[in-house]
Amino acid sequence: MRPEESRSVVEEVVRRVQADTLTACRGARPGALESLINDAVYHENERLKRSHDRSREAKAERSFWRSAQHRLQHASEVDLIALLGDITRFHSEEIVGKFDPAVYRFTISTIPWIFTVALNTASPRRMLADLPRLPRIQHNLRIQGELDLVRKMDDLGTILLVPTHSSHLDSVTVGWSAFDVGLPPMTYGAGLNLFTNPVLSFFMHNLGSYRVDRKKKHELYKDVLKTYATVTLERGYDNLFFPGGTRSRNGAIERHLKLGLLGTGLTAFVNNLRRDKPKPNVYVIPCCVSYHLVLEAETLIEDYLKEEGKSRYIIEDDEASSPRKWWKFIRNLWQLHSEIVITYSRPLDPFGNPVDEEGRSLDRRGRTVDPRQFVLRHGDPAHDVQRDAEYTKDLGQAVVESYLRDNTALTTHVLATALLGLLRVRTGQSDVYRLLRLVRPAESFRLREQVYPVVTAVLEGVRRRAAAGRMRAADEIARADAEAVTARALSHFATYHQEPVAVRLGADVVVCNKNLVLYYHGRISGYGLDDEAAAAAAAAMGGGQS
């Protein structure tokens, strides 16, 4: 977005939020506007009191909110409206990203190289000598799915890309994949904490992202954020955001999506219809990212298992904030010829219907449907908050179903599921928390008699489901046998993490980090594979209990 355009976007966001807020407040009880602003001022001042940030930006924020508090006292209706405008503008300007197409082209071209440099930071001489043979990100990213459809949708309307979220690395990998598929730069909301990591910050600033501060919890901020996404969509900027809201804590595919941002596609669509825009359609494209190893797995699963951790929505001190960890992770990626699989699902309309290659919505019987008809009231396209919230629930459901169908099982997920099945039988517990308490340190299983049969059962389960279109299996899973899959998974598990997930010791496999077993199993949970693994484990351990 060029600077003059982002100025006009800010103006439009301010105008709309102001108008919508005033309409809503006038329809509500008296004093609604004052209490809305009061809420914002209170939350911001409280947040800033707790913050230790002493940067210039933080100082400016403090002074703004203190003055807002002052102005709020004895404010007349006119003062309140002016204050509402100032707060909205303050937030909008903070959110809007600084994007420059020239810098985008430069940055995107550096992604393959910056990783290459990372690989060789220790030895510049080797880097120069190896230059022609160095691996590129292209070798480690496998981009698959409905790519032709996705490109077509970009011509036919505006795209809302909604990937799964398991790591901060997603912002870079998905950003790159979108470029590789041939999509224009994406506008996307990135958590403010991503801007603190110097590596990520570089990408964030230059790949078209705008800043989302998830610590700001008051309604007015959320309204500004949603309106910003809506306005950019209406102006034809493709958007990207993670509808899970936060990184999956237990490794599983997200089932409960944040519907607020997801609904912006529908709002933009209705606005486009009302203005008779030539290409009014908004296409929602789910996208599932699978990793052999996840950069921040240890912190995420620990957070998941902690009772109080469940409310820790924003983690600032994890692996992703340490550049050293990043290098280690990326180096592993290459040394193991590891793949990150990114699957683009079939595009959906804002109501959750699939669309065909012409961008037309289809009903469940494959008949084309005019999407306008969903939002008509007495013949005209109209907004209806309650109706649109229901439609967005349907869309959320359709997105989750796409995730599940296009989730790719990798070797580490299969082995972790098999190991969890074995642990389940050994401890006699199926409840996760109790199971983890009962697992002894360095629990070991016989490779040939116990691990292979269970891995075989899980592999067969995955293949069966993949054949039925319920999930996807990576090539290595579709072809290899239990022995090869186990060996490959163990080679991943042995590296990168502080403590290996599991290692092979002679004829045994030893579980070193049970939490990570749970984490990596999480990716293919919810398909009923757990029961199959437990049944196979019970059969394998019945005779060969060590």
Partner 1 sequence: MTSPGSVAVLGPGPVGALLARLASTNGCRVAWWAGERPPEVERPARKRGARGAVRACEGVVSTLQPEEALADAELVFLAVPAGELPGLMLRVGAGLTPDRLVVHAAKGLDGPGGRRPSEMIELESAARRVGALAGPYLVAEVLEGYATTLVLASRFDEVQSAVREALASEGVRVQATHDLLGVELASAAAVALGAAAGLCAGLKLGVGARAALLARGLAEATRVGTALGAKAETFGGPAGVADLLVTAGDPDGLGFRFGRRVGAGEPAAKVRAEVGERTEAVRALEGLRGLAGRARIPAPTLGTLCEALLDGADAAAVLDRCLRGPAQD
When the beta carbons of 76 and 386 are compared against partner 1, the nearer one is: 386
Q: What is the DSSP letter of 375?
A: G
Rounded least distance, CB 33 to partner 1, Å: 25
- Retrieve residue 249's tokens: 């804590």
Cα–Cα distance, 434 to 168 (Å, whole number): 30
When the beta carbons of 102 and 385 are compared against partner 1, the nearer one is: 385
**β-strand pairing of 187-191 with 282-291:** unpaired
Rounded least distance, CB 27 to partner 1, Å: 15
When the beta carbons of 15 and 372 are compared against partner 1, the nearer one is: 372
Rounded least distance, CB 401 to partner 1, Å: 15
373 binds partner 1 (CB under 8 A): yes
Q: Of the ranges 110-118, 147-155, 372-380, 440-448, which one interacts with partner 1 (CB under 8 A)?
A: 372-380
Q: Which one of 370, 441, 469, 542 is in contact with partner 1 (CB under 8 A)?
A: 370
242 binds partner 1 (CB under 8 A): no
When the beta carbons of 326 and 391 are compared against partner 1, the nearer one is: 391
Cα–Cα distance, 40 to 35 (Å, whole number): 9
377 binds partner 1 (CB under 8 A): yes
Calculated CA dihedral for residues 457, 458, 462, 465, nearest 10 degrees: 60
* Mask for 329-368, x = binds partner 1 (CB under 8 A): ----------------------x-x---------xxx-x-
CA distance readout (Å), 63 to 44, 59, 69, 266:
11, 6, 10, 37
Please, which residues have CB within 8 angstroms of residue 298's CB and are 6 or more apart in sequence?
319, 497, 498, 513, 515, 516
Cα–Cα distance, 352 to 401 (Å, whole number): 10
Q: Which one of 376, 467, 505, 507 is in contact with partner 1 (CB under 8 A)?
A: 376
- Retrieve residue 462's tokens: 């995955």
| Angle value at C-alpha 44, between 39 and 50, nearest 5 degrees | 130
Rounded least distance, CB 222 to partner 1, Å: 22
Cα–Cα distance, 67 to 72 (Å, whole number): 9
Rounded least distance, CB 353 to partner 1, Å: 8
378 binds partner 1 (CB under 8 A): yes
Rounded least distance, CB 379 to partner 1, Å: 5
Tally of CA atoms within 13 A in the half-sphere of 74 that contains its CB: 0
CA distance readout (Å), 451 to 41, 426, 437, 466:
58, 13, 22, 22
Rounded least distance, CB 158 to partner 1, Å: 21
Residue with tokens 């029961």: 531
When the beta carbons of 114 and 369 are compared against partner 1, the nearer one is: 369
* Mask for 384-423, x = binds partner 1 (CB under 8 A): x-xx--xx--x-----------------------------
When the beta carbons of 219 and 384 are compared against partner 1, the nearer one is: 384
379 binds partner 1 (CB under 8 A): yes
Q: Of the ranges 115-123, 162-170, 225-233, 374-382, which one interacts with partner 1 (CB under 8 A)?
A: 374-382
Cα–Cα distance, 133 to 231 (Å, whole number): 45
Q: Which residues bind partner 1 (CB under 8 A)?
A: 351, 353, 363-365, 367, 369-371, 373-374, 376-379, 384, 386-387, 390-391, 394
